[in-house]
């Protein structure tokens, strides 16, 4: 069973951002599947790295668009990104050292964060971009 299923409810009205969110959902599902299948630290670490790298890329992409279009709520939006990256980096540091394991609690935290951030914070940004002619 998937951790998270993409549907049009998640659309923020900007194609590049929607495509990146689909990829993030896909990577989160891959990580969840690997965890549930009891894969070892090597496999989990590889998927975790991909998810972290793509998340950083995606946040950077959104933040460049915020700068380019002078998005009024950019400070709060960037702060949410920064907080998650900090939390994920702290977890990854522990995971790599063998001091933390990937659990369903962590996957659920990630699912809830993604859902809330896309539905609230990214949608608000998408509306502003749409109003400026970006789709």
In order, the DSSP letters of 32-87 are HHHHHTT--HHHHHHHHHHHHHHHHHHHHHHHHHHHHTT-TTHHHHHHHHHHHHHH
Distance CA 2, CA 75 (A): 33
Site track 40-69 with Fe ion (rule: CB under 5 A), x = hit: ----------------------x-------
The residue number whose beta carbon is nearest to Fe ion equals 122
Q: What is the size of the binding site for Fe ion (CB under 5 A)?
A: 2
24 or 44: whose CB is closer to Fe ion? 24
Q: Which of 37, 131, 48, 60 is nearest to 95 (CA)?
A: 48
The answer to whether 122 contacts Fe ion (rule: CB under 5 A) is: yes
44 or 88: whose CB is closer to Fe ion? 88
23 or 100: whose CB is closer to Fe ion? 23
List residues binding Fe ion (CB under 5 A).
62, 122
């Amino acid at each position: 069973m998937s951790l998270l299923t993409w549907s049009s409810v998640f659309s923020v009205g900007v194609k590049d951002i929607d495509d990146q969110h689909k990829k993030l959902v896909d990577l989160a599902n891959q990580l969840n599947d690997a965890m549930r299948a009891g894969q070892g630290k090597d496999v989990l670490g590889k998927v975790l790295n991909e998810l972290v790298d793509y998340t950083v890329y995606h946040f950077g992409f959104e933040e460049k668009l915020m700068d380019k279009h002078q998005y009024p709520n950019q400070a709060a939006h960037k702060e949410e990104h920064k907080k998650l990256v900090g939390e994920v980096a702290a977890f990854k540091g522990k995971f790599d050292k063998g001091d933390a394991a990937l659990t369903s609690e962590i996957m659920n935290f990630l699912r809830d964060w993604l859902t809330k951030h896309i539905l609230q914070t990214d949608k608000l940004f998408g509306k502003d971009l749409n109003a400026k002619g970006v789709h």
